[in-house]
A and B are shown apart, each in its own frame.
Chain A
Amino acid sequence: MDFQLIWFTLIAVLFIGYFFLEGFDFGVGILMPFISRDDVDRRVCINTIGPFWDANEVWLITAGGAMFAAFPHWYATLFSGFYLPLLLILIALIFRAVGFEFRAKVNKVFWKKSADHFIFWGSLIPAFIWGVALTNIVMGLPIGADMNFTGGLFGLLSPYAILGGLASTAVFTLHGAVFLTLRTDGPLMERAAKVAAIMWIPAGLLLLVFALLGYKYTILFDGLGLIPGTLPALTIIAFIAGYFLLKLGRTGWSFAATGATIVFGTIVAFEGLFPVLMPSTLNPDWSLTIYNASSSELTLTIMSVVALLFLPLILGYQIYSYYVFRKRVTRDSIPTH
């Protein structure tokens, strides 16, 4: 069996799960200051993701651990190469968590305002940087013969990479707006639905430009014709369908559709890379692939057994948790101080 392929798929699944799940809680964090009319609204927004955001973040931690175990060179090259962007993500995630957990602990205006800033910036910055980082990977990176990244920080900030960051931010915000429409009620829900309907336009434009320029700047569509295949088509269909489903009042399906956009979009990136993990622009032979970056077969075998045992269990109790908290969060449910 090709264990490298299995682990490439599993890590892709972990990132897909991460972008799908944390995608909407980034979106909620970004929108919270703008669609709330008062403090109770803001607390409703935060409580829609209250029981989930931490477990959503664990998808990232697990992806990191899985990369370390299955493809140590990928883990080492990526995180030492993207040192400062990753640092920013980590700091942002710290502030975000602190904002969520501690906001309601002190009933003072300054305290809550600070927490709101932590939540907003702590959601916006990672949503943007993940897009920039992923775009850089599919563009190729200056990776040397010793597998180490040889570029600098500013090389990562090309206009196309920034476009990728804007696109990911817009899509996550849209995903979050639909999630809020699904999980709140009353005027707040109506505002969320309105924002969602509007967000489709900038998100759509950014995605379109990003995809078209992708032919020029990325390796994803190399060797493919003008119609690159099923997955990009599905991404587009899901994205458009989401809009009409929302208009039809099928919010749940609309959320599934924005989620599917993220899922298919991420698959496009991983599939386009395969079997490369990090393409080198200096010399194609220096690229990290699933074969030259991987762990030994024994390690991959053991890890496969472990994943097979635990992934169903994890999915089971995470679904259970979403089932327990399936009801909309209302203003009445927010305790007074």
Chain B
Amino acid sequence: MEALDLARWQFGITTVYHFIFVPLTLGLSVLVAIIQTFWYRTGDERYKQLTKYFGKLFVIIFTLGIVTGIVQEFQFGMNWSEYSRFVGDIFGIPLAIEALMAFFMESTFLGLWLFGWNRLSKGVHLLSIWLVAIASNLSAIWILMANSWMQVPVGYEIVGGRAELSDFVAILLNERLLVQMPHTIIAGFVTGGLFVLGISAWMMYRGNQVQTFKKSAQIALVFTAVASLLTATTGHSQAQDTVKSQPMKMAAMEGLWETEKPASFSLFALIDQENKTSMREVRLPYMLSVLAHNNATSEVKGMNELQAEMEEKYGEGNYIPPVKTVYWGFRVMVGLGVLFILTAFTGLWLWWMGRLETTRWYHKTLMGVLFLPFIANSAGWLVTEMGRQPWVVYGLLLTSEGVSPSVAGSSIWISMAAFTLVYGFLAAVAAYLVVKYAKPGIPKEVEKNTSNSQETTHQADAFAY
């Protein structure tokens, strides 16, 4: 493989891996903060126990999020120096603001929260976890602003071979950002919600502190139900925006080779990228036109026509992304999204019927569904990033032009091997720890002795290293 392919693989591996932990952090931080707020408002010790229980799991996840995040901050410069030179004037702004506004706040207040159980007043301690949750989600906004600009560049002018900022407000209000940001953050909420639900279900299934875990399940159910619906609506807005701003990506998402009017929605297709055709298609007539333009008879352009248009505009080249990955990534994401909505509303219905803690098949379902948001999140990013290829900045810079000229393929081999091994090791450690801390439920002695102040102090220090 050449340096370019290696650099792309490395970016893909490290980023997908990083994004296993990030969405979970986004959702779980908010849920821990909500549960602690319940404790603060009601004084019910069960909420305190739940806060600590899910807090510990949160810290394990969060740690992996930061350590893999450090790599991301420097990887642009390491492997993509020409990209960095080209976009730095614009792309660097949200990255620097992310660190200044979010990372400092997140890390400082997490330290205060972890070690402050005995030293801070209850109110300030609660505020700390909320600031962690807010900072995590703020960081998502800024990094998504950077990504949105790569998808739909705005507010720039090309000066001396690089993109220079001409309008900061345009970047802040990039319409791509306004659809992509809520969709991604809320998908994180779904991930966190289904995590808390899955773990609570596991405990209820094993008959471990059922009444306590019913409470966390209820909070997570409401949270997930709202979030899963919003993921669908924001996802729809994002797709409609893609039709306008990146028609090639949309055509690839649909496996649509020829322009159609009215356009049909594809349910299944065997994509043949070489011959630019799809076989054994199952299509719903009019559906794509409706979804794309809210108009049953509108036209949606196919990849062949778009390829011709782009060749005319940018010169010869292959402007069609890897269609199979984009097409199936989209279907996996949407299919799972629908499943999450059904899962959440089934739970609400069982709760309404008073059977939430006794319905064992539902507990088992939740334990399985816990793992699926990670697949849905990755699929979503593969669609949006692979669908943008061959561009790294859409319409401005090809991915092949962004790679570091001074870095040898052998160096990238070394770093890719190192990251793969280290990340594999981290995954094993994290999985082991999450199971170790989740499985026993809430430690027994705490339940017995919550009134004993000495015991509470001892418990409180349990977050120490």
Contact = CB atoms under 8 A, between A and B. Distances in A.
Interface of A: 43, 46-47, 50-52, 54-55, 57-58, 60-62, 64-73, 75-81, 83-84, 86-87, 90-91, 93-95, 97-98, 100-106, 146-150, 295-296, 298-299, 302-303, 306-307, 310-311, 314, 317-318, 321, 324-325, 333-335
Given A84-B411, A335-B462, A335-B464, A93 B92 contact: no
Nearest to A152: B408
B88 interface: yes
Contact of A65 (B59, B71, B73, B82): B73
A267 B359 CA distance: 66
27 contacts: A61-B70, A62-B100, A64-B99, A65-B96, A65-B99, A66-B92, A72-B88, A73-B85, A75-B88, A76-B404, A83-B407, A83-B415, A91-B418, A91-B422, A98-B63, A101-B63, A102-B433, A150-B406, A298-B165, A311-B100, A314-B105, A317-B105, A317-B109, A321-B108, A324-B120, A325-B119, A333-B464
Contacts of B95: 65, 68-69
A85 to B, nearest CB: 11
B371 to A, nearest CB: 22
A66 B79 CA distance: 18
Given A50-B465, A81-B406, A87 B96 contact: no
A51 to B, nearest CB: 3
B170 to A, nearest CB: 12
A105 B114 CA distance: 14
A80 B81 contact: yes
B110 A43 contact: no
B398 interface: no
B92 A70 contact: yes
Contacts of B404: 76, 80, 83, 148
A55 B96 contact: no
Q: Which 10 A-B pairs have the closest CB atoms?
A: A72-B88, A69-B92, A79-B77, A51-B111, A68-B92, A76-B81, A65-B96, A62-B99, A80-B81, A76-B84
Contact of B89 (A72, A101, A334): A72
A84 to B, nearest CB: 6
Interface string B86-97: 011111110111
Interface in B379-407: 404-407
B164 A149 contact: no
Nearest to A54: B107
B112 A324 contact: yes
B84 A324 contact: no
Nearest to A337: B462
B449 to A, nearest CB: 14
Given A50-B115, A55-B108, A84-B414, A296 B78 contact: no
Is the contact region of chain B dominated by helix, strand, or loop, or is it mixed?
helix
Contacts of B109: 317
A333 B460 CA distance: 11
Contacts of A146: 405
A235 B119 CA distance: 37
A299 B92 CA distance: 9
Nearest to A43: B465
Given A76-B82, A298-B166, A314-B100, A83 B461 contact: no
Contacts of B464: 43, 47, 50, 104, 333-335
A302 B168 contact: yes
Interface residues on B, range: 35 or more
Nearest to B69: A61
Q: Which of B73, B96, B103, B165 counts the most chain A CB atoms within 10 A?
A: B96
B433 A105 contact: yes
B67 A94 contact: yes
Q: Which of B60, B99, B415, B422 counts the most chain A CB atoms within 10 A?
A: B99
Given A66-B96, A83-B407, A299-B93, A52 B465 contact: no
Interface in B107-127: 107-112, 114-116, 119-120
B111 A54 contact: yes
Given A68-B77, A76-B77, A54 B110 contact: yes
B98 interface: yes
A296 B165 contact: yes
Contacts of B162: 72
B261 interface: no
Contacts of A298: 164-166, 168
Nearest to B85: A76
Contacts of A79: 74, 77-78, 81
Contacts of A102: 60, 63, 429, 433
Given A54-B107, A55-B108, A76-B77, A93 B96 contact: no
Nearest to A295: B89
B96 A303 contact: yes
A57 B70 contact: yes
B426 interface: yes
B454 to A, nearest CB: 12
Nearest to A96: B67
Contact of B100 (A306, A318, A333): A306
Contacts of A295: 88-89, 92, 164-165
B63 A97 contact: yes
B349 interface: no
A87 B398 CA distance: 26
Q: Which of B78, B110, B116 counts the most chain A CB atoms within 10 A?
A: B78
Interface string B254-270: 00000000000000000
A268 B9 CA distance: 40
Contacts of A69: 88, 92-93, 95-96
B111 A321 contact: yes
B89 A335 contact: no
B41 interface: no
Nearest to A115: B465
A307 B116 CA distance: 28
Contact of A324 (B71, B85, B116): B116
Q: Which of B74, B89, B166 counts the most chain A CB atoms within 10 A?
A: B74
A103 B465 contact: yes
Nearest to A94: B67
Contact of A317 (B98, B101, B108): B108
Interface in B398-443: 404-407, 411, 414-415, 418, 422, 426, 429, 433, 436-437
